[in-house]
A and B are shown apart, each in its own frame.
Chain A
């Protein structure tokens, strides 16, 4: 099993450009999450999907959109990138809701917006 995979690993954008971060998991997990991590601020939840077909906003959703394409894939889109979105983005999944909060993280995407 590959676990949680993310593409790309690194990306540099200019202000105003758009891009989609891809995430996939092969563990048959129900719930998937997108976080951003900035120095000194820990992980902040952008969006999550409790199950296929549902998505909900987290703490910092502005400037982002998500798509839960199927049970395996959960993508994050930046429609018009801004320098404030420079960060490390992590995707995570958990096997089921409301029981044991064991999140499995992907390797991360390091995004720089110039």
Chain B
């Protein structure tokens, strides 16, 4: 079967760094993506990793290790507005994208 595992909740303090992990098991692999979703809103694209290594985009970075079927999203200099759910997603066979259940991030003052 195909599955993505990520923690259900993470809590961190404003200004801190937080890492959200994602492990996957899929048939075929074309890349790992991350999306941010605020309560009541639609997912919005954050980052994509097609190859192993770290991709940096401002305060957000994403990492992929294809040999370990593992990736993470790193959020630095946390702000209150970063409180949201973060979804990892894998594009697998037949170009279908599978999403994880999401990690709810709570940022405290």
Contact = CB atoms under 8 A, between A and B. Distances in A.
Contacts of A106: 42
Contact of A102 (B48, B94, B101): B48
B91 interface: yes
Contact of A101 (B8, B30, B41, B94): B30
A105 B95 contact: no
B96 interface: yes
B94 A56 contact: yes
B48 A100 contact: yes
How extensive is the interface on chain B, given as a class? 20 to 34
Interface string B32-58: 010100000111110010100000000
Interface string A97-113: 11011111111100000
A44 B43 CA distance: 13
A43 interface: yes
Given A101-B30, A101-B91, A33 B42 contact: no
A40 interface: yes
Contacts of A101: 30-31, 33, 48, 89, 91, 97
A59 B4 CA distance: 14
Nearest to B43: A105
Nearest to A107: B42
A35 B100 CA distance: 13
Interface residues of A, number: 26
Nearest to B48: A100
A50 B94 CA distance: 10
Interface in A31-64: 31, 33, 35, 40-45, 48, 50, 56, 58-59
B90 to A, nearest CB: 9
Interface of A: 31, 33, 35, 40-45, 48, 50, 56, 58-59, 90, 97-98, 100-108
Q: Which 10 A-B pairs have the closest CB atoms?
A: A105-B42, A43-B99, A42-B101, A101-B91, A42-B99, A102-B45, A105-B43, A101-B33, A97-B95, A101-B31
16 contacts: A31-B95, A42-B87, A42-B99, A43-B43, A43-B89, A56-B94, A90-B43, A100-B31, A100-B48, A100-B50, A101-B91, A102-B48, A103-B45, A105-B44, A106-B42, A107-B41
